[in-house]
Structure 1
Amino acid sequence: MTPRERRLREQAQRGRLILTTAREMAEAEGWDSVTTRRLAERIEYSQPVLYQHFKNKDAIVHAVALEGFAELAAELRAARLGAADPQAALDAVARTYLDFAARGPVLYQAMLTLDVGLEHAGPDTPQPLLDTFAEIRDAVGPVAGERDPELLAEVLWSAWHGLATLSWGRRLRPGPEQERLAALTGLVTGPVRQPS
C-alpha cells in the first residue's frame, strides 16, 4: 500500500467514525446535543481535523441523512421485490417505511424533518433520495390503474410521513397501526383491504 493510499484509507475511516459517532450521540441525546466540539471530544480528534471532513454540523447531519436514505431505499426494494403480487408489494413497502421510521426516529428526523440542505424535488436531488422515491413509485405503479403513479407515490409518501411523525410524537392512539395503514393505502389506490 502506498503512503497516499494509506492516507486516503485513514481519511475514509475518520469520516466514517465521525458519522457513526454523530449518529450514536443523536440516538442517545437528540440532534441538539451533537455539536462539533462534543463530537471532536468524543472521537478524540481536534475540531480542525473534524472540519477537514465536514464543513459544520449541518454537513454531518446531511451525510447521515443520505446514508439513511440509502438504507431506506434498500429496505423498500427488498420489501417490494419479496412480495407475491402488486398489492402485497405496496403493503410491504408501506409497512417497511413505517417500521424504518419507528426503529430510528432520530435518523428519520435527520432525513425528513431537519433542514440540512437536502432538496427532494430539484435538479440536484441526491441519488439516495431519488432511489427512495423510485421504490415507492415502483410499488404504486402496478396498482395505480389510469392514475399518475408519480402523483400517487407523492401522496402516499406524504401520508406515510404524517403517520410516522404523528406516531413518533404519540399523537395517535396505539394499536390500530396496520388498520390505519391499510385504510390509507385503500383511500389512495382503491378499496380498503384488511391487513394480513
Structure 2
Amino acid sequence: MSVQERKQRERAERERLIVATARELAERQGWGAVTTRRLAERIEYSQPVLYGHFRGKREIIGAVALEGAAEMAAAVRAAARAADGPRARVTALARAYLDFAARNPAVYDAMFQLDGGLAFAQEDTPAPLKDAFAALLENLAEVAGAGDRPGPFTEVFWAALHGVATLTRAGRLPPEYAEGRVELLVDRFAVS
C-alpha cells in the first residue's frame, strides 16, 4: 500500500469516526449537544483536524443525513422484498419507513428537519437521497392508479409518511392508533 493510499484510508476512517460520533451524541443528547469542540474532544483530535474534514456542524449534519438515507433505503427495500404482493409491499414499506424514523430520531431530523446543506429534488441532489426516494418509487409505482404519475404519487405518499412520523414523535397523534394509520394510508394508496 502506498503512502497516498494509507493517508486516504486514514482520512476516510477519521471522517467515519466524526460522523459516527456526531450521530451517537445527537441520538443520546440531541443535535444541540453536537458541537465541533465536543466532537474534537470525543474523537481525540484537535478542532483543526475536524475542520479539515468538515467546514462545520452543517456539513456534519449533511453527512449523517446521507448515511441515514442509505440506511433507510436499504430498510425499505428489505421490507418490501420480504412482502408478498403489491399491497403487502406498500404496507411493509410504510412500516419500515416509520420504524426507521422512530428508531433513529436524530438521523431522521438530519435527513428532513435540519439544514445539512443538501439539495432535494434537484439536479445536484446527492445519490443517497435520490436512492432513498427511488426505494419508495420502485415499490409504489405498481400501485399508482392508471392516471397517476409515479413520481408525484410517491411524493404524496412520502409526505404522508413524513407527517405521520413527525406528528407521532411530537406526541400529537395518539399512539394507540399507529397501526390503524398505516392501514388507512395503505387503503388510500394501494388501490390498484
Q: TM-score, normalised by structure 2?
A: 0.95
1:107 paired with 2:121, answer no
Higher deviation after alignment, 133-142 or 62-71: 133-142
On the 8 A contact 1:156/1:185 being kept in 2, the answer is no
What is the aligned partner in structure 1 of residue 189 from structure 2?
188
- The one-letter amino acid of 2:55's match is K
Equivalent positions of 1:1-196 (< 5 A) are: 1-146=1-146, 147-190=148-191
Aligned length: 191
Displacement after TM superposition at 1:189 (Å): 3.7
Aligned partner of residue 72 in structure 2, secondary structure: helix
CA distance in 1, matches of 2:151, 2:9: 40
Mapped to 2, the partners of 1:156 and 1:53 lie a distance apart of: 36
Contact kept, 8 Å, 2:87 with 2:186, in 1: the verdict is no
Instruction: Give yes or no for contact 2:70–2:132 (8 Å, CA) kept in 1.
Output: yes
Structure 1 length-normalised TM? 0.93
> What is the Cα deviation at residue 145 of structure 1?
2.8
Q: CA RMSD in A?
A: 1.3
Cα distance in 1, alignment partners of residues 13 and 122 from structure 2: 31
Alignment gaps of 5+ in structure 2:
none
Mean Cα deviation higher: 132-141 or 181-190: 181-190
Question: What is the CA distance between 1:78 and its match in structure 2?
Answer: 1.1
Q: Deviations over 1:74-125 (max 9, x none)?
A: 1111112221111111111000000000001111000111121222111111
Percent identity, please.
53
Superposition deviation, residue 55 in structure 1: 0.9
Task: Answer whether contact 2:86 2:190 (CA < 8 A) is retained.
Answer: no
Mapped partners of 1:9, 1:150: distance in 2: 38
CA contact (8 A) 2:87 2:190 kept: no
SS in 2 for 1:176: helix
Measure the CA separation in 2 of the matches of 1:39 and 1:66: 19
Q: Distance in 1 between matches of 2:160 and 2:145?
A: 20
Name the aligned partner's letter for residue 32 of structure 1.
G
Give the Cα separation in 2 of the matches to 1:7 and 1:128.
25
Q: Which has the higher contact order (CA 8 A, sep 6+)?
A: 2
Displacement of 1:190 in angstroms is: 2.8
- Cα distance in 1 between the residues matched to 2:3 and 2:127: 32
Q: CA deviation at 1:166?
A: 0.7
